[in-house]
Structure 1
Amino acid sequence: MNGDPEYAQEFVDIAGGRLGVQIYPEPTGPAGAPVVVIWPAMGVRARYYRPFATALRAAGLAVVVADLRGTGTSTPAPSRADRHGYTELADDVGTVLAALKPQLDGRTRLLLGHSLGGQAALLHLALHGADAVDGLALVAVGIPYWRSYPGRRGVGVLPYTQGIAATTALLGVWPGWGFGGRQARGVIRDWAYTARTGRFPRLDGTDTEAAVRAVLAVSVDDDQYTPHETMDHLCGKLTAAPVTRELYTVAQAGVALDHFTWVRAATPLAQRIAGFASDLPPR
């Protein structure tokens, strides 16, 4: 334990480091509840999702939250020597799922990704197949393609994203100046590619815009980084997957929302995700 009674802190070994995984207590109710494994946004620690995890548990789901490589309790810390990118993030999803196998066996499993975490989960399923999970929930996720932003916003998105990529290439690491926290150059390179081209990079020679299992895609009102249109762009690529497209609105939440604050006002969204999980075919 980490001193916080809300979850058990565990670690999963990877080459050159380890991934921090927070395992919350089982929800009240019948044993064998569906399990949701949360993957955070760029630079956001797993512990930020405690209010969301609490809401999901109250809705009847077992909850696991992983720190992305190099963030929070996960290592290695981004540095000039660390070049990991989207390939490694996608592989990390599989590594955590394999480590959780004893807890997951016989239960409905749902990956839930926020922003970069959603991209990592989606890419894992595209690269390695969806047999290990039953569904995918994407919340405030989108390909940040500059042409998909409404109005004139895209005109600023392109130089902003490519400027971050150029700075990262020069320094060998992104220091986190005002965006995304400290990040490895490979992550920023691949992220900037999606912003420039509107596509995921080819990983290990594989076209990553492939079929995945059932998807619940939820964009959030007033999201400053991935507005509704960027989620629409992403969903347009999931041509072989059954996609349920929804909005999470200020009216539903009862408070102001943005790319991050939805986590702290997500009780209605947690209930919707629990309903999605319960509708998935049983194992």
Structure 2
Amino acid sequence: MDARTRIDLADGGSTVLHVAQAKEVGGPLVLVLPAMGVPAGYYEPFVDDLARTGVTAAVADYPGQGAATPRVDRDLDHGYTEVAHDWLPRVVAAARREHDGPLVGLGHSLGGHILLTHLAGDEPLPDAAVLIGAGTPFWRTHHGVKTLLQTQFMGLLTRIRRFWPGDRLGFGGRQPRTLIREWAAFARTGRLTPGGRPIEPALRDVRLPVLVVDLDGDHLAPPAAVDALVAKLPSAQVERFTFVKAPGDPGKPVSHVSFARSPEIIGERIAEWVLKNAQVSASGPE
């Protein structure tokens, strides 16, 4: 069963939470945090497949993205902090009205950064985490000087335009200036510092179960970039696997983004891990 709930946001706008309910009640809830410029609607086959395999799943657009209103422009601005510590709790609160099982945050690409920013806060919500196609954009672990030049150009143009016009330039969708400025700084320094505050010290003691999924041939999250992001969680209980689509497997070829439209195998693997680890984490050690 699918349900859609409108959520009011702090900027006066709204977003919509799409929940795909599994037949089994009381189990974990997976909340998908989208990649940069990828609308929540793109993930609907993925959340539907998780529900089919026994895990209730949900997804919503970030402020100004996809079906959220209003659209990002020069006057609508926010960064990692607002998404991680205001948007995310509001979305979780809406999901909790109908589902009170263990919560798993699934961060895809930029969504992984948002999830780690949230975990570095005072009241982290998830009982477990999944990172898929999520790495640092740090240029030394991500295609070298080419990445440095591209990301700093994005930061510069965003300062001039007061938002990132990715919908016209073919990368990342339309994004707010503070988010792109913080992301470009992350690419330059290797440190994520929302609002000028580094998240790494607060992440040292995070002990959640974490599933890290590499996508074979993912040029936007190469293994070295994923390694660098995972290293920010030194105390977490990390399990990692590389998803390779074998000949004869159902669905289309899988890339950094397309896995969400062809989830027949990867969804089952993630659901299996979630059902095992989220329940354990929520109940605590015996």
TM-score (norm: length of structure 2): 0.88
Superposition deviation, residue 227 in structure 1: 1.6
SS of structure 1 residue aligned to 2:173: coil
In structure 1, runs of 5+ residues without a counterpart are: 1-5
Distance 2:222 2:253 in 1: 15
- 1:123 is aligned to 117
Contact 1:94–1:124 (Cα < 8 Å) also in 2: no
| Structure-to-structure mapping, 1:1-283, within 5 angstroms | 7-16=2-11, 17-24=13-20, 26-28=21-23, 30-91=24-85, 92-105=87-100, 107-130=101-124, 132-149=125-142, 153-176=143-166, 177-203=169-195, 205=197, 207-208=199-200, 210=203, 211-212=205-206, 213-251=208-246, 255-280=252-277, 281=280, 282-283=282-283
SS of structure 1 residue aligned to 2:185: helix
In structure 2, runs of 5+ residues without a counterpart are: none
Change in Cα spacing, 1:234 to 1:251, as seen in structure 2 (3 Å) is same
Contact 1:87–1:204 (Cα < 8 Å) also in 2: no
Matched to 1:62, the amino acid is T
Bigger mean CA deviation after superposition, 157-166 or 9-18 = 9-18
Superposition deviation, residue 230 in structure 1: 0.9
Bigger mean CA deviation after superposition, 54-63 or 244-253 = 244-253
Q: Among all aligned residue pairs of Structure 1 and Structure 2, give the percentage whose two residues are the same amino acid.
A: 37
Distance 1:158 1:250 in 2: 31
Superposition deviation, residue 224 in structure 1: 2.5
Change in Cα spacing, 1:205 to 1:144, as seen in structure 2 (3 Å) is closer
Superposition deviation, residue 204 in structure 1: 6.8
Change in Cα spacing, 1:243 to 1:277, as seen in structure 2 (3 Å) is same
Over residues 3-44 of structure 1, what are the superposed CA-to-partner deviations in whole Å (9 max), with x where a residue is unaligned? xxx7332221122212221122x222x321211111111111
Superposition deviation, residue 88 in structure 1: 0.8
Distance 2:2 2:257 in 1: 21
Distance 1:183 1:148 in 2: 24
Matched to 2:176, the amino acid is A
Contact 1:42–1:115 (Cα < 8 Å) also in 2: yes
TM-score (norm: length of structure 1): 0.89
Distance 2:197 2:113 in 1: 17
SS of structure 1 residue aligned to 2:81: helix
SS of structure 2 residue aligned to 1:103: coil
Matched to 1:266, the amino acid is P
Change in Cα spacing, 1:68 to 1:202, as seen in structure 2 (3 Å) is closer
Paired residues in the alignment total 271
Superposition deviation, residue 263 in structure 1: 1.4
Change in Cα spacing, 1:8 to 1:104, as seen in structure 2 (3 Å) is closer
Matched to 1:20, the amino acid is V
Over residues 176-210 of structure 1, what are the superposed CA-to-partner deviations in whole Å (9 max), with x where a residue is unaligned? 11110001001111111111111111447463451
Matched to 1:259, the amino acid is H
Matched to 1:115, the amino acid is S
Matched to 2:49, the amino acid is A
Distance 1:70 1:270 in 2: 28
